[in-house]
């Protein structure tokens, strides 16, 4: 990357302008970095706070290539990007972090799992299938037994392409297409570690957090920081996260999702080379936020201190069931009457059931108290649509 005197001289390109892009811009603006955003939706979360907004498709070669030509350094907040355009930009000298080479692995859950297996990273046993018929054949021959988890190899997010198959009756729900089928882990807790690495090779991670999932939608329900786990488990998880960030040669953030089973075995579920939903609390609850840490890593600056300032519970503001259309936020004023409550509204114009519309971080001296407040807040603040 070109040497810069002032952070303000840097033109940072961000591919996609969802909530992660928006929060990255908020962190970058503290240092006066000039952000550029490419997103196909002119009303995306970032467009309202980014002067250099370009409407274009991250999947389209020309759009990505032309966008890359306007910036000094490029990063991304989604994984589904036209990699040919990224490779061409890279060959022409544009620094892109994380390196586009890893996207091929990340974009495909099958390749991710194979990568874990090839590198002796613990992960739930799995098989790859091309279609539903082959899965049914393996069930008939008892090669595959219930319960198992089926995931689309590509394009899934927020649990929208994951199903749990526990019995015969669920077989009609099977996806037909390229999928990963995994042994269902008897989960005690889901954990996440966000690690960062810069070009000088400095690696640091945030303390482990606990993710609680909504089983109706397979989506993050709330997050607890710090995770209530034995320190030996945290040490082991960090060691795995650090091996992964090195093996994948990520310069930037790597979020590593873990499943911890009832016997305290850790399994890597999936990874994402970017800021992650499991790090949103760091904005208020840690000495450095995950967004600032990503900037530090991609600009080859020293990593910031990741220590916890306060225990926290974070939950996503999800679109209420049975409501779809232009979003309205009920209970905003009442929620703000509570102490140490930090509301983030992403600015998505339209809501639909379970859409991530924002998040709230609650700080408290104890997790118990923060949890009680979060339960109260969930009832108070609701995302509905105009009637
Ligand atoms: N092998 C597994 N065993 C048990 N539960 C799983 C397994 N894999 C995934 N899950 C559950 O499904 C959720 C979503 O799966 P994941 O692969 O993380 O998809 P997404 O990309 O939608 O986050 C996980 O957070 C976990 O609750
Ligand atoms: Mg996941």
Q: Does ligand 1 come within 6 angstroms of the Cβ of 265?
A: no
| Kind and range of the H or E run holding 326 | strand 325-330
pLDDT tens figures, 156-190: 766 779 999 999 888 999 999 999 999 999 999 99
**What pLDDT is stored for residue 1 in this prediction?**
59
One CATH from 3.40.309.10, 2.60.120.10, 3.40.50.280, 3.40.50.20 for 7-96: 3.40.50.20
- Ligand 1 centre to CA of 184 (Å) is 9
Specify the residue with its C-alpha closest to ligand 1, atom 12: 218
Give me the percent of the chain exceeding a pLDDT of 90: 92
Residues 302-328 have a mean pLDDT of: 97
CA atoms within a 13 Å half-sphere pointing along the CA-CB vector of 284: 16
Per domain, the residue ranges of the chain are 7-96, 125-183, 187-385
Q: What is the mean pLDDT of residues 177-204?
A: 97
The position carrying tokens 């990963």 is 180
**CB 147 less than 6 A from any atom of ligand 1:** no
List Cβ neighbours of 164 (8 Å cut-off, separation of 6 or more). 147, 148, 149, 170, 184
Quick one: pLDDT at residue 334? 96
- Whether residue 387 is predicted with pLDDT greater than 80 in this model: the reply is no
Reported as a single tens digit per residue, the pLDDT across 43-54 is: 999 999 999 999
Distance in angstroms (rounded) separating the CA atoms of residues 39 and 356: 18
- Mean pLDDT across the chain: 95
CATH class (in words) of the domain with range 187-385: alpha beta
**Average pLDDT of 280-294?**
98
| Residue 206 in this model has a pLDDT that exceeds 90 | yes
Q: What is the mean pLDDT of residues 337-353?
A: 97
Report the relative pairing of strands 52-55 and 34-39 from DSSP bridges: parallel
Q: Is the CB of 182 under 6 A from ligand 1?
A: yes
Q: Which fold has domain 125-183?
A: Dna Ligase; domain 1 (3.30.1490)
User: Which ligand neighbours the alpha carbon of 187 most closely?
Assistant: 1
């Amino acid at each position: 990357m070109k040497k810069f005197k002032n952070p303000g001289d840097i033109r940072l390109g961000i591919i996609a302008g969802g909530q992660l892009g928006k929060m990255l811009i908020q962190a970058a603006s503290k240092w006066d970095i000039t952000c550029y955003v490419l997103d196909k939706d002119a009303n995306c979360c970032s467009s309202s706070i980014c002067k250099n907004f370009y409407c274009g498709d991250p999947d389209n070669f020309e759009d990505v290539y032309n966008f890359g030509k306007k910036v000094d350094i490029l990063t991304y907040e989604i994984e589904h990007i036209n990699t040919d355009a990224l490779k061409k930009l890279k060959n022409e000298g544009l620094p892109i972090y994380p390196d586009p080479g890893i996207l091929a692995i990340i974009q495909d859950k099958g390749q991710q799992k194979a990568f874990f297996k090839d590198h002796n990273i613990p992960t739930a046993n799995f098989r790859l299938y091309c279609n539903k018929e082959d899965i049914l054949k393996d069930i008939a021959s008892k090669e595959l037994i219930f319960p198992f988890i089926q995931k689309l190899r590509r394009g899934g997010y927020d649990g929208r392409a994951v199903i749990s198959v526990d019995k015969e009756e669920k077989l009609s729900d099977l996806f037909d297409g390229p999928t990963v089928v995994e042994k269902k882990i008897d989960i005690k807790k889901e954990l996440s570690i966000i690690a960062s690495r810069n070009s000088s090779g400095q690696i640091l991670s945030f303390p482990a957090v606990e993710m609680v999932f909504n089983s109706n939608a397979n989506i993050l329900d709330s997050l607890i920081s710090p995770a209530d786990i034995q320190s030996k488990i945290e040490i082991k998880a960090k060691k795995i996260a650090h091996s992964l960030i090195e093996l994948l040669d990520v310069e930037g953030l790597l979020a590593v999702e873990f499943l911890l089973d009832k016997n305290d075995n850790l399994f890597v579920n999936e990874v994402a080379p970017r800021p992650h939903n499991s790090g949103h609390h760091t904005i208020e609850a840690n000495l450095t936020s995950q967004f600032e840490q990503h900037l530090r890593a991609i600009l080859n600056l020293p990593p910031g201190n990741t220590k916890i300032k306060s225990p926290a519970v974070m939950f996503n503001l999800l679109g209420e069931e049975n409501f779809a259309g232009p979003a309205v936020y009920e209970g905003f004023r009442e929620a703000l009457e509570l102490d140490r409550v930090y509301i983030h509204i992403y600015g998505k114009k339209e809501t639909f059931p379970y859409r991530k519309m924002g998040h709230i971080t609650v700080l408290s001296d104890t997790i118990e108290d923060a949890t009680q407040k979060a339960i109260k807040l969930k009832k108070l603040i609701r995302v509905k649509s105009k009637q």
